Amino acid sequence: MTLVITTCTNRKRKTVPDRLHVAALQPGPIDDVAGRWAARLSGQNDLFSACDIYGGRSFREASLAANLLSAPLLIVSAGLGLVWAHTRVPAYACTVLAEAPDSIASRVKGDYSVACWWKALVEVSPFSESLEGAFASTGGLICAALSETYIEMITGDLCALPAETLARLRLFTRAPLERLAPPLRPFVMPYDDRLDGPDSRVRGTRGDFAGRAVHHFSDYIVNEGDDRSAGEHGAAVAAALDGWRMPVRFSRQRLDDSAVLSLIRDHWDAERGSTARLLRRLRDKLGVACEQGRFADLARQVRGEKA
């Protein structure tokens, strides 16, 4: 059975209690912060299926890939550890992104890295599975759609896997190969910016690249009972993308938040409140540069005004 792995996003669909914002934790050494966080997680009674508390296109694309492959979906969460999509968990606000309001980095005094946080978290989280145990529960391909930061977070666990287990890994990421651990590089599928070009059926943003790549792989590359090697799968991806054109790069202007908010309001009804279509309009039709995370925050503000 194939397994699909993806990352969560901070676009929660459920209301997060104040006590489950990591920013509410008392700062301290990383193990102490992890212990306090785990205690708060354990004390929650309102639980939801993990797949119901996350949003964002990359997550949805990975979910589609899992459905195409009739595969279980496993989520790498900076707040919970490694959880199955059907596991009932609390809504929470925690991220490893340093600049975010609910960044765990802001709570840790002393040595900190995303890998250290992951190690401390999975040892105490009441919801986390072990990576090796989860992989052992399936015998097929392991299709992992991960951002560079999340790969960095779980690299130690991946590299500790037995060679025969690691050989089942197919990694989908926009991270440059040279920034990945050498043992992982042979398993990266060679998707590139052509995924956003005019010949692609899964165009999107850089933030959802990994999810779109695993979706394409599941739809067009992998076969039932597929026992090809990572090299053979990589060659199949390269062949599928052969002849695809690169996206046209536009020179976009940067605007301050108030100007971007004004544009979102002006075009909200035309795009029926779809943040994906609004971002595409902003970038491709209006020629405005705006990072996905920043845009999501501004669009959320406008959505609140419309409510």
| Domain of residue 161, residue span | 3-241
Statement to judge: residues 15 and 145 lie in one domain: yes
User: Are 52 and 197 within one domain?
Assistant: yes
Give me the residues of the chain with pLDDT under 50, please.
10, 12
How many distinct structural domains can be found in the chain?
A: 2
pLDDT value at residue 13: 53
Q: Is residue 77 part of a domain?
A: yes
Q: How long is the chain?
A: 307
Question: What does the pLDDT read at residue 26?
Answer: 95
Residue 261: per-residue pLDDT: 94
Quote the CA–CA distance of 174 and 209 in Å, as a whole number: 7
Residues 57 and 173 in one domain: yes
Query: Other CB atoms closer than 10 Å to residue 269's CB: what's the count?
Result: 9
The CA-atom distances, in angstroms, between 89 and each of 9, 123, 268 are: 15, 17, 33
Which pLDDT tens digit goes with each residue over 4-24? 999 876 454 567 888 899 999
Look at residues 208, 241, 274 and tell me which one is the last residue of a structural domain.
Answer: 241
Domain end marker among 194, 217, 241: 241
- Residues ≥6 apart with Cβ < 8 Å to 238: 190
Task: Please give the pLDDT value at position 14.
Answer: 65
Largest CA distance in the chain: 54
**pLDDT of amino acid 207:** 85
Same domain, 224 and 272: no
Residues 62, 160, single domain; the answer is yes
- Assess whether 113 and 225 both reside in one domain: yes
Q: Are 74 and 189 in the same domain?
A: yes
Per-residue model confidence (pLDDT) at position 86: 95
What is the reported pLDDT for 285?
A: 86
Structure tokens at 81: 């550890």
Strands 88-89 and 48-49 turn out to be antiparallel
What does the alpha-carbon distance between residue 307 and residue 304 come to, in Å, rounded to a whole number? 5
pTM of the model: 0.83
